[in-house]
Amino acid sequence: MMQVAPNPYRQYLENAVLTADPGRLTLMLYTGAVKFIHQARDCLAARDIPGAHRACLRAQDIIVYLLETVNREMEIGKNLFALYDYMYRRLVEANVKKEAAVLDEVAGLLEELADTWEQALKLKGQQAAGG
């Protein structure tokens, strides 16, 4: 039986995820959720309802993972949990009602989180390099 050559891009992504520190992994999750929300929006625009549904489910899965892993013992964790819960409920609503505006709302929230998280990681890196 002929063996299929591994996809180098997929291997790169898998390695990036497996070797990422928790902060970088969180940023990757935010970025991935935004990507799937944009896919869902594009599918809605193209009237590809099954595609929109699948993309919404992928984004919802990421938010569920974030919900399950956030540390709610800290105040910021409690706040993030509430925000993730809100985003999850809005994604379910967008998926059921096929509302692009709701997808845009959640994507905007995730993009803000990703930007903030990225700035925090840069600051952490600068402090580590300087300290």
DSSP code at position 70: S
Residue 9 pLDDT > 80: no
CATH topology for 23-116? Four Helix Bundle (Hemerythrin (Met), subunit A) (1.20.120)
pLDDT digits 0-9 by tens, 54-111:
999 999 999 999 999 999 999 999 999 999 999 999 999 999 999 999 999 999 999 9
Q: In this structure, is the dihedral angle defined by the CA atoms of residues 100, 105, 111 and 113, taken in order, positive or negative?
A: negative
Structure tokens at 106: 């959640």
How far lies 105's CA from each of 37, 59, 87, in Å?
Answer: 10, 13, 9
Q: Is residue 97 helix, strand or coil?
A: helix
pTM for the model stands at: 0.82
The pLDDT of residue 38: 98
The pLDDT of residue 4: 61
